[in-house]
Structures are given as structure tokens and as C-alpha cells.
Chain A
């Protein structure tokens, strides 16, 4: 099971949990599994089937936009981190080098 780190602002959607264990071989599958466990987090993560612009997702500390987006591989004991973008740390998905699609996110 991968560990998904939940930022403070989204913990009200996970019953206060800062970490959620989730199944999946890709980022999309893992996030989809998080949504299955905590359905109300869906709208906070996705908008029109894409990751929201001010949310950054990392696999083992690497921004998935520079990997394979939602198709990025996640090790069985890997870590997926969801972080709100802050100054200097934000980018809109349409400006990203690889476009993030909803693929497999189950949104």
C-alpha cells in the first residue's frame, strides 16, 4: 500500500487523517483509491476531471508533472504527497510540460 500525505486544508475530508494508505500502481489509481475511501475529497483534488491548478502532487518527492502525470508509477511502499501550491511553488497545469489528464483518477 502506498502512503498518501494529506495537507492540513484537506484533512477535514479524511476525518482528520494526515496520512491515508491507498492501493494502486499509478498516481491516478492511488488517488482514485483515496477518493473511494473519502468521497468528499474528490472536488478538492479534481476539477473537470483534472488535478486542480493549485494542487501539486509528488511521488517520492518528485513533481508528477515531470514524470508521467497521473500515469506516474508508484512503488508498493511509495509515498504520494498532495501539497497546496504556495508562492514560488505553483504552476497551472496548462503550462506544465506534460498535461495531466484525469486518466484512472475515477473522478
Chain B
């Protein structure tokens, strides 16, 4: 595969069977989005967000891009913005892993920190305040931009359908809601019988701790009607499956992948015998090494220790 530049090399990721982790009588497959140019599913979204701004005229040559992101979207945007010549500012929770900060700085991104206790909601709040104060910046806003879900509708799902036309169920993590909404919609257009499940990370007390219940945030991208169910996954289960994935299938993935696999294995019993289930792996494990998620030791202790930063 030859491409003119990095922005063209997004997508067409491998769909890999997991024969050793599949429940008896079912076939689990994992879509390895870590194989995208900057190592995550967000490369698809970043490309669509920037192109949407260019098409609408909100983003003009040399214009500044501003986005609240806990990391992967920022890294994807950073690469695209670099080759297209747009300066980029990312607002992210201060507990985001060190690897992500260093990658963003390498790409020349300006980083603004929001309080760890406010999680992603805090990044959204701070970015909105900054965007309101500066009419010249383009804030793609992945939580509310239809281009986010469209990226999955036009690229992620068609790739799955091409590789596994008889897919029975699709599982992806719930962040902005873009993956489950966009890919789910396209999959159901292909075959209305396909089930779509969201794996929702159960955050640690650090994230929930100081929250005011009136401050909840509804991502406009998420269409709850596409989902057949929404299942939360705790840090320990997600971490155990992420480690088993490495140990039994030879795949080194981020912890959100383990969460998607927990749900994929759980929903098999609701599907006909022989059903094929696709889980989406948003990224590899590299950017989370410093969290200690993969270190030797008692998995329950590790999960407890890192539950506040695991999903950041």
C-alpha cells in the first residue's frame, strides 16, 4: 500500500480472530484500530473533523484548531494538522498519561490542562470557554460534530462488512458515542438483525468523586436508539481481559479493548450459536505503559491503583 502522505493512510485496519478467547460456540473478532497512522481509531475521526471544517469554511488556511481531548483525538488531529499546516491547541485533563503529552508536544501542539477531578467534562468546559473568547479558532468538537459518527459510518463499518459480511454483533467502547452510533447505524443498514452494544467504562472514585450531579454532559453525537444495550465494565475486568489478550492471543492493546471484550464475551449467550461478534480495539497499549497497567503484580491491586487514570 502506497500513499501520498500520512493523511491518506488512515483506516483499512486488520480484523483479527480471537480463537483462544472466544466463548465455546462463538467467534470473537477484534478490529485493530491501533494500526492507524498515529496508533488509534481517532485518526479516522480527526481526518473527518478537519475535512468537515475545510468544507464548511470554518477552517481556513493557517487557521487555529482547538479541541478538548483526553489524548487520542488530539494525537490524530496533531498529525493531520501538521501536514495541513494548522496550529493546534488541545485541552486535556491533567492526569492524562505522560506518553500522550510528549507525543503532542513533539507534534508542536499547545497543551492546556483542565482539572483531573472534572474528567473529560472539565476539558469540554475549558475548551468551550476558550473558543467563546476567540471567534477565529475552529473547534471541531468531536462530542457534537456529526463528522465523528460519519467517519465510522463511511469507513469503519464498511470495512467490517467487507471482511465479515455475516457479523451478528458489534461492540465498542462509549466515549463520545461516535463509534457505536456511526458504525452501528451502518451495520444495521446492512443487516437490521445486527446487535450493537456499548461498553461503558466504570470510572474510579477520583473521576466521580467531586462531581455535581447537575454537571453531567450529554454527547450530542451519541444516538442511544442505535444501541441494543449499554453495559458498564469495571477496571479490574477490563484490565484482566486486556492482559489475557496479550497472554493468549499475542495482542498488546489499551485497556478500553479489554472492556469491549468483556462485553463481547458477555453478550454471546444472547446470540444464536455460531454467531460472529466484532469488538473494536481503539488503540494499542503503548501509551499506557507508564500507568502500570501491564506491570507484573496482583491485577486487582493494579486495577485499584490506576482506576482514576486508566481511562483518561
CB closest chain-A residue, reference B200: A89
**Contact A58 B120, beta carbon cutoff 8 Å:** no
B205, B210, B211: most-surrounded residue (chain A CB, <10 A): B211
216-253 of chain B: CB within 8 A of chain A: 216-219, 222, 224-225, 227-233
A93 to chain B, nearest CB (A): 10
Q: Kindly state the separation between the CA atoms of A52 and B211 in the bound complex, as whole angstroms.
A: 15
> Could you list 11 A-B pairs, sorted by A, with CB under 8 Å?
A9-B210, A52-B213, A54-B214, A55-B216, A65-B230, A86-B121, A86-B203, A87-B143, A88-B120, A88-B143, A88-B200
B31 to chain A, nearest CB (A): 19
Q: Is the CB of A104 closer than 8 A to any CB of chain B?
A: no
B175 to chain A, nearest CB (A): 4
Q: Kindly state the separation between the CA atoms of A7 and B202 in the bound complex, as whole angstroms.
A: 11
Could you say which interface size class chain B belongs to?
35 or more
Beyond A8-B208, A91-B224, A97-B225, whether A85 also contacts B232 by CB under 8 A is no
Q: Is the CB of A38 closer than 8 A to any CB of chain B?
A: no
**Contact B202 A97, beta carbon cutoff 8 Å:** no
**Contact A87 B229, beta carbon cutoff 8 Å:** no
Beyond A83-B208, A87-B121, A88-B174, whether A97 also contacts B224 by CB under 8 A is yes
**Contact B208 A89, beta carbon cutoff 8 Å:** no
Q: Kindly state the separation between the CA atoms of A83 and B203 in the bound complex, as whole angstroms.
A: 10
Q: Kindly state the separation between the CA atoms of A16 and B181 in the bound complex, as whole angstroms.
A: 38
Taking CB atoms, residues of chain A closer than 8 Å to B208 are 7-9, 83-84, 86
B143, B210, B215: most-surrounded residue (chain A CB, <10 A): B215
Residues on B facing A (Cβ under 8 Å): 119-121, 123-124, 143, 174-177, 200-203, 205, 207-219, 222, 224-225, 227-233
CB closest chain-A residue, reference B225: A97
What 4 A-B pairs are tightest by C-beta distance, nearest first?
A: A54-B216, A87-B120, A85-B216, A63-B230
**Contact A88 B224, beta carbon cutoff 8 Å:** no
Q: Is the CB of A17 closer than 8 A to any CB of chain B?
A: no
Q: Is the CB of A96 closer than 8 A to any CB of chain B?
A: yes
**Contact A88 B176, beta carbon cutoff 8 Å:** yes
Q: Kindly state the separation between the CA atoms of A83 and B209 in the bound complex, as whole angstroms.
A: 11
Taking CB atoms, residues of chain B closer than 8 Å to A67 are 229
**Contact B176 A9, beta carbon cutoff 8 Å:** no
Sample of 5 further A-B pairs with CB below 8 A, known A54-B213, A87-B124, A87-B175: A8-B209, A9-B209, A52-B213, A62-B232, A66-B230
**Contact A9 B217, beta carbon cutoff 8 Å:** no
**Contact A88 B212, beta carbon cutoff 8 Å:** no
User: Among B176, B177, B216, which residue has its beta carbon within 8 angstroms of that of A86?
Assistant: B216
Taking CB atoms, residues of chain A closer than 8 Å to B224 are 65, 91, 95-97
Taking CB atoms, residues of chain B closer than 8 Å to A54 are 213-216
